[in-house]
């Protein structure tokens, strides 16, 4: 695929990023796409490797390797290289409902498993994907295409994140009548309020939602199923119900002083920021203000990094990011070979911006909070931190992170953002439908199935598999759509 000698002739080139000090002046996306000619050269680097691990989507050593959607990467890379952009779009859209989202926010599992990356730089697959879909919108290839025949079957989907949207898109094109319920005021779920605007501008979420509306999908926003409308009512009105409500129970940090003012969950911080930006360009002041304040982010993942970048854009005086675990190696370790997911240190956009603004990496490794300290008014003013070390538990044989005696120290903190992950779905909805949950509060189903313990109720996405990636949520949505279609029709073409 691509040009047989392309990987030898062309160096990897990515879209240019606006400099950190410049891009923090706004919440806009900050990469400038390559020209069509240069993007075609990047597609030419796809090396006809014979075994395309990029599209494998398999677990290796417990980690996902390659695209969970099994995207036909070599095929559409070749079509991009040869300039057949309409056919490239159709091959891309065959497996991925939303390349406009994954082309922006996916960590590119395809690239981490790229054969070209074994001894050099991987093919810029994510950027190639984004160029194909954006060209498709520009040329009209991605215009609304409503189904010509309706089945008369009705499906309700609870949640409009990537899993819910994917299921809705698939079932609607199959001819079923689909209604999506979203408790927020805008459709998109995680895509709308969980991911900051500089990573995914919300015009692109709205664009796809509007296409789906024109194709016949109905969106009902501002309705909290299980609170505003009863589960029994939906089960009577619809032939099938899909729960795609996400894993929205944030993991807390329970230490002395937790009740102090100024401590927030990351999801609340990011949601308030994006909503205020979209509603009023921040003039309503309905967001968590970090201007002139010392901010501490607890958690080193993508959400933690988003909190760093957002805090800096809002004018934070300083930003400190705590990570419990040791710093990952800068290069692959011998026990982490290709095509496994590379467990290496990644300096993301938020950390890059902190380095540019404050002169140092905001991350402090092997450290956690021991106590929050408030002033006389109950407002957070300091935090007591402690260093951690890995130590083997004699009873279990497992290595645990334990405190280093005498390593405590105090830092000035005005705002704390807890980005320590999520524990599972919120129980008011699972109780409303009466579905069983597992030990992690995820909705329980048979292995690799989506039917719940309640007849005609299915589950997909993070509420089913736990907190994961957008691309895995899309796969979940596609898979549940196939299962629901089979249950409705007795066969499926999905």
Tens of pLDDT, residue by residue over 157-199, are 999 999 999 999 999 999 999 999 999 999 999 999 999 999 9
Neighbours of 180 (CB within 10 A): 27
DSSP annotation string for 437-490: B-TTSPBP-STT--B-SSTTEEE-THHHH-S--HHHHHHHHHHHHHHHHHHHHS
DSSP 8-state code for residue 287? S
DSSP annotation string for 217-231: -EEEES--BTTTB-H
pLDDT given at position 410:
98
* Regions of the chain with pLDDT less than 50: none
What element of type H or E holds 412? Answer: strand 409-412
What element of type H or E holds 270? Answer: helix 266-280
Q: Residue 40 is encoded by which pair of tokens?
A: 């075609």
DSSP 8-state code for residue 277? H
Distance from the Cα of residue 490 to its chain's centroid:
33
pLDDT given at position 4:
86
Per CATH, the number for 6-139 is: 1.10.1060.10
Per CATH, the number for 263-418 is: 3.50.50.60
HEC profile of 350-392: HHHHHHHHHCCCCEEECEEEEEEEECCCCEEEEEEEEEEEEEE
DSSP 8-state code for residue 403? E
pLDDT given at position 50:
87
Neighbours of 81 (CB within 10 A): 22
pLDDT given at position 394:
82
pLDDT given at position 383:
98
What element of type H or E holds 311? Answer: helix 302-313
Domain with CATH 3.50.50.60 in the chain: 154-248+423-489, 263-418
CATH topology of domain 154-248+423-489: FAD/NAD(P)-binding domain (3.50.50)
Q: Residue 214 is encoded by which pair of tokens?
A: 């024109």
Tens of pLDDT, residue by residue over 384-410, are 999 999 998 888 888 899 999 999 999
The answer to whether the beta carbons of residues 295 and 316 sit under 8 Å apart is yes
CA-wise closest residue to 305 among 442, 451, 438, 195? 195
pLDDT given at position 1:
63
**Calpha distance 77→275 (Å, rounded):** 37
Query: pTM of the predicted model, to two decimals?
Result: 0.96
What element of type H or E holds 174? Answer: helix 162-174
Neighbours of 42 (CB within 10 A): 25
**Calpha distance 366→43 (Å, rounded):** 41
Domain with CATH 1.10.1060.10 in the chain: 6-139
pLDDT given at position 424:
84
pLDDT given at position 3:
85
Q: Is the dihedral of CA 3, 7, 8, 11 positive or negative?
A: positive
């Amino acid at each position: 695929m691509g040009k047989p000698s392309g990987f030898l002739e062309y160096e990897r080139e990515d879209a240019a990023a606006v400099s950190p000090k410049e891009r923090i002046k706004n919440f806009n996306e900050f990469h400038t796409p390559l020209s069509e000619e240069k993007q075609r050269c990047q597609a030419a680097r796809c090396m006809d490797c014979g075994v395309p691990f990029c599209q494998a989507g398999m677990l290796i050593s417990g980690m996902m390797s390659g695209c969970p959607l099994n995207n036909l990467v070599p095929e559409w890379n070749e079509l991009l290289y040869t300039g057949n952009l309409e056919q490239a779009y159709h091959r891309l859209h065959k497996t991925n409902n939303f390349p406009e989202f994954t082309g922006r926010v996916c960590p590119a599992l395809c690239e981490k498993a790229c054969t070209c990356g074994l001894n050099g730089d991987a093919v810029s697959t994510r950027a190639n994907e984004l160029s194909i879909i954006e060209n498709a919108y520009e040329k009209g290839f991605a215009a609304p295409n409503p189904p010509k025949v309706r089945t008369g079957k009705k499906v309700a989907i609870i949640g409009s994140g990537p899993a819910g949207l994917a299921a809705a898109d698939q079932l609607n094109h199959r001819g079923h009548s689909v209604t999506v319920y979203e408790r927020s005021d805008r459709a998109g779920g995680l895509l709308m309020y969980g991911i900051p605007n500089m990573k995914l501008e919300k015009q692109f979420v709205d664009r796809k939602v509007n296409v789906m509306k024109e194709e016949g999908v109905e969106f009902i926003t501002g309705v909290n199923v299980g609170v505003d409308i009863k589960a029994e009512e939906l089960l009577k009105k619809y032939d099938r119900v899909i729960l795609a409500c996400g894993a929205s129970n944030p993991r807390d940090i329970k230490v002395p002083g937790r009740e102090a003012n100024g401590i927030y969950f990351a999801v609340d911080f990011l949601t308030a920021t994006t909503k205020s930006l979209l509603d009023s360009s921040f003039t309503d002041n309905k967001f968590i203000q970090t201007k002139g304040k010392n901010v501490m982010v607890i958690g080193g993942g993508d959400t933690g990094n988003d909190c760093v970048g957002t805090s800096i854009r809002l004018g934070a005086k300083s930003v400190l990011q705590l990570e419990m675990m040791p710093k990952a190696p800068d290069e692959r370790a011998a026990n982490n070979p290709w095509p496994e997911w590379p467990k290496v240190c990644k300096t993301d956009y938020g950390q890059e911006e902190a380095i540019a603004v404050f002169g140092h990496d905001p991350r402090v490794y092997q450290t956690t909070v021991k106590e929050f300290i408030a002033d006389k008014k109950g407002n957070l003013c300091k935090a007591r931190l402690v260093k951690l070390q890995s130590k083997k538990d004699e009873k279990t044989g497992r290595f645990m992170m334990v405190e280093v005696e005498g390593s405590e120290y105090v830092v000035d903190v005005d705002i704390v953002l807890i980005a320590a992950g999520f524990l599972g779905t919120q129980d008011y909805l699972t109780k409303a439908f009466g579905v069983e949950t597992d030990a992690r509060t995820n909705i329980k189903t048979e292995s690799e199935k989506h039917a719940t313990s309640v007849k005609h109720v299915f589950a997909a996405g993070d509420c089913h598999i736990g907190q994961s990636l957008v691309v895995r949520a899309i796969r979940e949505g596609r898979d549940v759509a196939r299962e629901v279609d089979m249950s409705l029709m007795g066969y499926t073409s999905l």
